Amino acid sequence: MPHIVVEYTRNLDATIQCDRLLPALHSVLLKQPDVFPIGGIRSRAIPLDHFYIADGSEKDDAFVHLTLKIGAGRSIAEKEHTCSGLFDVLVDHFRDEFNKRGLALSLELSEFGEGGTLKKNTIHARYK
């Protein structure tokens, strides 16, 4: 952990540039190695083929929803700093797109306890 999940409407395929967006999002977490162990950071972008926005009248409307999944234990200040940093990256990345279409960006923090999660990760050893 943490996991960054970016869901986006398929009509953003031509402009989303996941190869730039995901590393930029990672950089927010990589700058906080005491808060987020580097070997646990993962991200994925999931295109949404089926979506409906507002009243459905504007077929070019789009949205991007980022979910940050983390285990419990970070302070409120650490969570706020991280979420603000991720959202700033998201807004900056889609700055031009806001001038072209209806676009909604959102971010959600999902925090869970250790109970109910299983993990095995050999990547952490590289960063010790």
Distances (CA, A) of 69 to 1, 38, 39, 97, 107: 7, 15, 15, 26, 11
Question: Whole-prediction pTM value?
Answer: 0.92
Task: Parse the chain into domains and list their residue ranges.
Answer: 3-127
Tell me the mean pLDDT in the region 112-127.
83
Tell me the mean pLDDT in the region 3-9.
98
Fold of 3-127: Macrophage Migration Inhibitory Factor (3.30.429)
Strands (E) across 10-87 are located at 42-48, 62-71
Q: Which pLDDT score, from 0 to 100, does residue 124 have? A: 85
The residue from 2, 33, 37, 47 that is catalytic is: 2
Confidence bin at 1 (pLDDT 50/70/90): confident
Percent of the chain at pLDDT exceeding 90: 82
Confidence bin at 23 (pLDDT 50/70/90): very high
Tell me the mean pLDDT in the region 46-64.
96
Q: Which pLDDT score, from 0 to 100, does residue 69 have? A: 96
Q: How far apart are CA 113 and CA 41, in angstroms?
A: 17
Residue owning tokens 């952990």? 1
Tell me the mean pLDDT in the region 17-38.
97
37 an active-site residue?
Answer: no
- Provide the mean pLDDT of the chain: 94
